[in-house]
Chains A and B, each alone.
Chain A
């Protein structure tokens, strides 16, 4: 296995023509052959649903799988802020190259130039496609599409549908998928979870699933398999991911030979609602778009912060001169709109200095008082109101822009964010790492593709806001439907794949054995309790800042926890029944291995870049210190229970100059 050579399969030619030329010259599959080729798609969020419907429109026979009761529930639905596209509708200097450059720079120069440029190129098609599907994007009074700005960029290129952009885009993709289901082009399997990948002659030819209602284990075959199964943020237990998000489809593929790339690149989002108690099951994001108008601050003195922590003072009691708007102070060029990794680390530093503003000391303020004043005054002038109630007018504007987010905050915390500044703290949100793929989005296993958050390809060490939706839909609508032909054009003579082969039988037996083994442990501790402990270890040693020493400790702790899990976990209920505890158990078992790999990866990377911050590698001002000479590579790991094996893909930068990322 160890003689894997990673080939990115980037086509030749200049950056700007690469994708166009490639599309024009790649092998195609004729319509009469498409009819005979089957594709399995696992996951029906933005990437999966868009891929399934597009491949079906092209004439392929698609089988789509989701563990949800309906494709409409995928966690893409929870994305709030928006989707980027280099439309330059605002005439503010945006371009394909600028979106490409911002994404490469935002990712701290750890992504592949050609993939990112292609993403920027197709971004504009996505908006057109979504509008045509009926996605009700925000509009200006003239009827044209509205934009707003997001962190890490200086143009307004984010399209949005209030604070529910992900919902609207997913519903669009779900409707497209529904149309193909009704046509019979897509066979939809709801409430089915992939538990293994099946290889025949080294190619991905099928999956083993568990019917989550009946517990039945089934075999499914196709000419190729596409994973669009999202990210692995739930390895931290507490994250903004939905409860069901998991790494299992990807991890099972890793165990069949796929490589896991950059697993330690995880994104900690700066604006989430702080943890309130030990029973907490998940964290809730407050969209980055709030940083357009909200100002982040903590008290200048520890005394004031402690008074707030004890509940003796409130944010509004702190005089203007006694506040430290630390992002505006440290990063005057980008201010409150610095990228996520930078904002998160700055919040951690403020709290580590004892200036946190919640009872736990782990929160900073996000304040809208200035925005309310500014909007109120502008509204009074534009409407010509005498003796205006500025605050009331301003609150109405803020409500129109962020109403649902403010409402959500109020529901969760019981506090009114119009009257008191919000309290926020960083939380795990997105994983840039994922299955290694080449330019075609194909993994090192022939016939196995990975899309969206499940792959590693476009965001480097840090993702910019409003780029996850863009990547999911780019991969599904505009990339895979072409690149899958590079594999399938060689398969037109391959007859329908049978599930009767010994490979399928073995894979099915392995799954059944694994479930029986888990169930038969019959220990004393719940799956949830193991997951929570795993999350604490990963957060402590592989969270916002990491050290070599800590990573070694963390790795050992995870290995110990894994041993304990296999000795003492208790799974109630039956295997052949609706059994959510069993589902959780298989997922946590996989997280217990992935967590270890994250520690190994973070320990290997002796530099700080993007979301990966190693304390040993920082500047005097506390900023990340990258090491381009030694670490400008993608870490693609082959799993081995004793010592995972590293394969490197060197990153070549021919179109951008590697610079120290500065937002000052």
Chain B
């Protein structure tokens, strides 16, 4: 199939950026990134600079890839990262617009590559359980209800890609932050620091320049790991408790 691409090119953070048009020949079994590889090989053979994009595992788990495809973070397919999107979901002659994940808190580094270190800062603010190596009791010392462990796991599957932020008109990181709060806060081990954790992580989120949540729900729709917006509700309750009650 022949595809007409409109790809975002931006030399660096100071450059204004623009779309560049290219045509590429692809097959249905290619992944979206393999289609981009074909484009880049084409550009290199013309001695031009290839399109910079971030990618690594190419199996939907590292969270590196981050393209907005035809206006949607990670493209049209539900629950799928860019690297796991395959070209069989497109048709011959399609036009495809490709942009980076845009948000004030994710400055562009080059072309489709953005700086997502703000996410690391949120985790550093409290997204952990304070246990030193060697302090742990036996793994079976604290039984955890199967369903509860499952719920915690569902929140923990976040890959930190930032699609939630890119999808949100407010550029909010509430889904990302609340997923970590839920992952840890649901487990007995994580309860001890829960209140402090929520407060610190939310405060850092604000400081990093992410917007507020206004219950639009685009984050949940675009999340490649289908993380539930219910986590946000849970975090809001805990945050209020941390501000007014000191404790839940």
Q: How far is the CB of A31 from chain B (nearest CB, A)?
A: 14
Of all chain B residues, which has the CB nearest A477?
Answer: B133
How far does the alpha carbon of A171 sit from the alpha carbon of B190 in the complex, in Å?
Answer: 14
Interface residues of B in 52-96 (CB under 8 A from A): 52, 54-64, 79-80, 84, 86, 88
* B132 part of interface (Cβ distance < 8 Å): yes
* B1 part of interface (Cβ distance < 8 Å): no
* A72 part of interface (Cβ distance < 8 Å): yes
Q: How far is the CB of A193 from chain B (nearest CB, A)?
A: 13
How far does the alpha carbon of A74 sit from the alpha carbon of B156 in the complex, in Å?
Answer: 17
Q: Which of B55, B57, B133, B153 has the most CB of A within 10 A?
A: B133
Q: Which of B115, B128, B144 has the most CB of A within 10 A?
A: B128
- Tell me if A570 and B27 are in contact (CB < 8 A): no
Q: How far is the CB of A135 from chain B (nearest CB, A)?
A: 8
Q: How far is the CB of A491 from chain B (nearest CB, A)?
A: 22
Chain B, 117-139, contact with A by CB distance < 8 Å: what is the 0/1 string? 10110011101111111111111
Of all chain B residues, which has the CB nearest A143?
Answer: B143
- Tell me if A178 and B50 are in contact (CB < 8 A): no
Residues from chain A with a CB closer than 8 A to the CB of B79 are 407
Interface residues of A in 153-194 (CB under 8 A from B): 161-162, 164, 166-168, 171, 174-176, 178-179, 181-182, 190
Whether A570 contacts B47 in the complex (CB less than 8 A), given A242-B58, A279-B34, A280-B34, comes out as yes
- Tell me if A137 and B125 are in contact (CB < 8 A): no
Q: How far is the CB of A259 from chain B (nearest CB, A)?
A: 29
How far does the alpha carbon of A54 sit from the alpha carbon of B138 in the complex, in Å?
Answer: 19
Segment with Cβ contacts to A, from B38-46, B229-237, B239-247: B38-46
Residues from chain B with a CB closer than 8 A to the CB of A572 are 43-44, 47-50
How far does the alpha carbon of A570 sit from the alpha carbon of B69 in the complex, in Å?
Answer: 30
Chain B, 138-165, contact with A by CB distance < 8 Å: what is the 0/1 string? 1110111110011011001101100000
Residues from chain A with a CB closer than 8 A to the CB of B33 are 281
- Tell me if B117 and A133 are in contact (CB < 8 A): no
Name A136's contact: one of B27, B159, B187 (CB within 8 Å): B187
- Tell me if A284 and B59 are in contact (CB < 8 A): yes
Residues from chain B with a CB closer than 8 A to the CB of A134 are 128-129, 152, 183-184, 187, 189-190
- Tell me if B30 and A168 are in contact (CB < 8 A): no
Residues from chain B with a CB closer than 8 A to the CB of A628 are none
Name A578's contact: one of B109, B116, B128, B131 (CB within 8 Å): B109
- Tell me if B61 and A78 are in contact (CB < 8 A): yes
Residues from chain A with a CB closer than 8 A to the CB of B160 are 70, 72
Segment with Cβ contacts to B, from A14-22, A123-131, A435-443, A509-517: A123-131
Residues from chain A with a CB closer than 8 A to the CB of B62 are 73-75, 77-78, 242
Q: How far is the CB of A582 from chain B (nearest CB, A)?
A: 11
Q: How far is the CB of A356 from chain B (nearest CB, A)?
A: 18
Name B157's contact: one of A164, A408, A412 (CB within 8 Å): A164
- Tell me if A580 and B50 are in contact (CB < 8 A): yes
Interface residues of A in 517-542 (CB under 8 A from B): 526, 528-529
Of all chain A residues, which has the CB nearest B133?
Answer: A54
Residues from chain B with a CB closer than 8 A to the CB of A529 are 41
Interface residues of A in 559-589 (CB under 8 A from B): 570, 572-573, 577-578, 580-581
Residues from chain B with a CB closer than 8 A to the CB of A577 are 12, 110
- Tell me if B128 and A133 are in contact (CB < 8 A): yes
How far does the alpha carbon of A74 sit from the alpha carbon of B183 in the complex, in Å?
Answer: 20
Give chain A's interface residue range (CB within 8 Å of chain B).
35 or more
How far does the alpha carbon of A153 sit from the alpha carbon of B29 in the complex, in Å?
Answer: 36
Residues from chain B with a CB closer than 8 A to the CB of A74 are 62
Residues from chain B with a CB closer than 8 A to the CB of A477 are 133-134
Interface residues of A in 50-84 (CB under 8 A from B): 50, 53-54, 57, 68-75, 77-78
- Tell me if B124 and A182 are in contact (CB < 8 A): yes
Whether A578 contacts B30 in the complex (CB less than 8 A), given A77-B62, A134-B183, A190-B117, comes out as no
Name A528's contact: one of B41, B55, B131, B183 (CB within 8 Å): B41
Of all chain A residues, which has the CB nearest B149?
Answer: A139
- Chain B residues with a Cβ closer than 8 Å to the other chain, count: 78
- Tell me if B129 and A57 are in contact (CB < 8 A): no
Whether A131 contacts B110 in the complex (CB less than 8 A), given A73-B62, A281-B33, comes out as no
Of all chain B residues, which has the CB nearest A168?
Answer: B156
Interface residues of B in 101-121 (CB under 8 A from A): 109-110, 113, 115-117, 119-120
Residues from chain B with a CB closer than 8 A to the CB of A408 are 59-60, 84
Name B58's contact: one of A70, A176, A282 (CB within 8 Å): A282
* A276 part of interface (Cβ distance < 8 Å): yes
Q: Which of A74, A132, A143, A408 has the most CB of B within 10 A?
A: A132
* A645 part of interface (Cβ distance < 8 Å): no
Residues from chain B with a CB closer than 8 A to the CB of A69 are 54, 64, 115-117
* A144 part of interface (Cβ distance < 8 Å): yes
* B206 part of interface (Cβ distance < 8 Å): no
Q: How far is the CB of B198 from chain A (nearest CB, A)?
A: 15
How far does the alpha carbon of A570 sit from the alpha carbon of B61 in the complex, in Å?
Answer: 31
Q: Which of B113, B137, B156 has the most CB of A within 10 A?
A: B156
- Tell me if B123 and A243 are in contact (CB < 8 A): no
How far does the alpha carbon of A40 sit from the alpha carbon of B225 in the complex, in Å?
Answer: 34
Of all chain B residues, which has the CB nearest A529?
Answer: B41
Whether A412 contacts B110 in the complex (CB less than 8 A), given A140-B146, A145-B140, A168-B153, comes out as no
How far does the alpha carbon of A441 sit from the alpha carbon of B83 in the complex, in Å?
Answer: 36
Of all chain B residues, which has the CB nearest A71?
Answer: B120
- Tell me if A129 and B128 are in contact (CB < 8 A): no
- Tell me if B47 and A143 are in contact (CB < 8 A): no
- Tell me if B152 and A136 are in contact (CB < 8 A): yes
Q: Which of A57, A74, A134, A570 has the most CB of B within 10 A?
A: A134
- Tell me if A53 and B34 are in contact (CB < 8 A): no
- Tell me if A77 and B117 are in contact (CB < 8 A): no
Q: How far is the CB of B131 from chain A (nearest CB, A)?
A: 5
* A612 part of interface (Cβ distance < 8 Å): no
In the assembled complex, 27 residue pairs joining A and B whose CB atoms fall closer than 8 Å, in A order, are: A57-B133, A70-B116, A74-B62, A77-B57, A77-B61, A78-B59, A128-B137, A132-B137, A133-B189, A134-B129, A134-B189, A136-B156, A143-B146, A161-B153, A161-B156, A175-B127, A179-B128, A279-B27, A407-B79, A408-B59, A414-B29, A526-B45, A528-B37, A528-B41, A572-B48, A572-B49, A578-B113
Given A72-B123, A526-B44: 20 more A-B contacts, CB < 8 Å: A69-B54, A75-B62, A78-B57, A78-B59, A125-B136, A129-B134, A132-B136, A133-B189, A134-B184, A136-B149, A136-B152, A136-B187, A137-B139, A139-B145, A143-B143, A144-B143, A280-B34, A414-B28, A478-B133, A581-B50
**For the complex of A and B, 5 pairs with smallest distance between CB atoms:** A143-B143, A132-B136, A175-B128, A136-B153, A128-B136
Chain B residues near A (Cβ < 8 Å): 12, 27-31, 33-34, 37-38, 41, 43-45, 47-50, 52, 54-64, 79-80, 84, 86, 88, 109-110, 113, 115-117, 119-120, 123-125, 127-140, 142-146, 149-150, 152-153, 156-157, 159-160, 183-184, 187, 189-190
